[in-house]
Amino acid sequence: MNSLSSPTLPLTPDYDAWPIEAEIRAVTHDARVVTLDWSDGRVSRYHGIWLRENAADESTVNPATRERILDLSTLPAWPEIAAAEVDAAGALCVSFAPEARVLRFHPGWLRAHDYDNGATQEGPLVPVTTWLGGPDASPDSLDASGLLDAEPAGEAEEAILAPALERVLGKGLVRLRGLPTAPGSLAEIAARIGPLRATNFGTLFDVRAKPDPDSNAYTSIALPPHVDLPTREYQPGLQLLHCLENDVAGGQAVMLDGFAVAEALRDRHPEAFATLTRQRWCFANTARTTDHVWHAPMIGLDERGELQEVRIADFLRGPLQAPFEAVEPAYAALMALQALLHEPQFALRFDYAPGDLVIFDNRRLLHARDAFAGGGGRRWLQGCYLERDEVRSRYRMIQRARRRRRLDSEHND
């Protein structure tokens, strides 16, 4: 039996395709819980109220949008299970009282959301691995020469984007090669992933030396390791830099895995690490026409204590505002971090060639640049920002399309 290709199986409360890994062999229940015995020996329990809220019928979700319309508090009473069985299609069929409503549940969807056995939709889509640089390291690189010729959302586009997005999700960095060098083509490339984020630097911004610059990036001087726009409440999650021209001497790109640096700090200087996860610093970009200021720790952890982001950009730090006794410990922790940033083992160095596009996680990776000769040759990159959410969404859509094609193929066979 396969998933949505079977016309007798119920819809799911989403648009995804859910393969059936095992069949439901037996069902037992009491008033509050349904217990399923699967063909592979797994036993799963589901609360009746959880099932009632996650049904896919028209009383629970809008069939046009798959968004929930049910308000549990409007039910006449707590939904209790009057009966439960497996129907002829292999779906779970539950009768709820006091509504006297019978609802069906797709077995593949139930199995994928088996919270009783630890299933969760949380966590990374791709395992996150930290990395070091060094003299022999180079960024993961892929041939993307056919990307703009590929049909949007088609298999040829997926063949390029899927491995690229996997690397961004897992390592925070990928280099695509062989792309067009026409000015502005970055917008079309980036849109294959998701909507662009506009900032005070524009939707697309030119990274090249220019007179009267409003950022150090628009000069020929070296840039220290940093993330972009830590001055924002929500700093951009993804940055793309597309090389259009580069024949200058110098200007090598430098990338560091900020999570690897943070983990090294945690191992070597645990007190400094703890300080930088607590102490809020001022990040400020007070330009001629804008004034962006935000306060946040340099190392951000999620509620599980896992690394979530780094905000490191010395040239965008404003004056530290902290209790008197916290100032020296904060600076001691900062200097311990800064010392790690100078260690060559963390730095991945490479040259840009025209047609190269580097995509990196701006809330994880630090990027830098060597100085280049400003008087001769041309070095022109175009950049833009997207959000991490767009990478995750696009990757999920690719995986959904692949699952659906696989299930359709199995059904046709």
Give 131-162 pLDDT, tens digit per residue.
999 888 999 999 999 999 999 999 999 999 99
Q: Which domains does the chain have, with CATH numbers?
A: 24-122 (3.30.2020.30), 141-396 (3.60.130.10)
DSSP state of 202: B
- Please identify every stretch of the chain with a pLDDT value under 70, giving residue numbers as ranges: 1-7, 210-215, 217, 220, 374-376, 411-413
pLDDT value of position 6: 46
Q: What amino acid occupies position 336? A: A
pLDDT value of position 231: 96
C-alpha distances out from residue 386 to 178, 195, 206, 360, 393, Å: 21, 7, 16, 10, 12
Cα separation of 229 and 192, whole Å?
A: 23
Per the CB < 8 A criterion, the answer to whether 156 and 404 are in contact is no
Cα separation of 361 and 388, whole Å?
A: 7
C-alpha closest to that of 237 among 89, 99, 391: 391
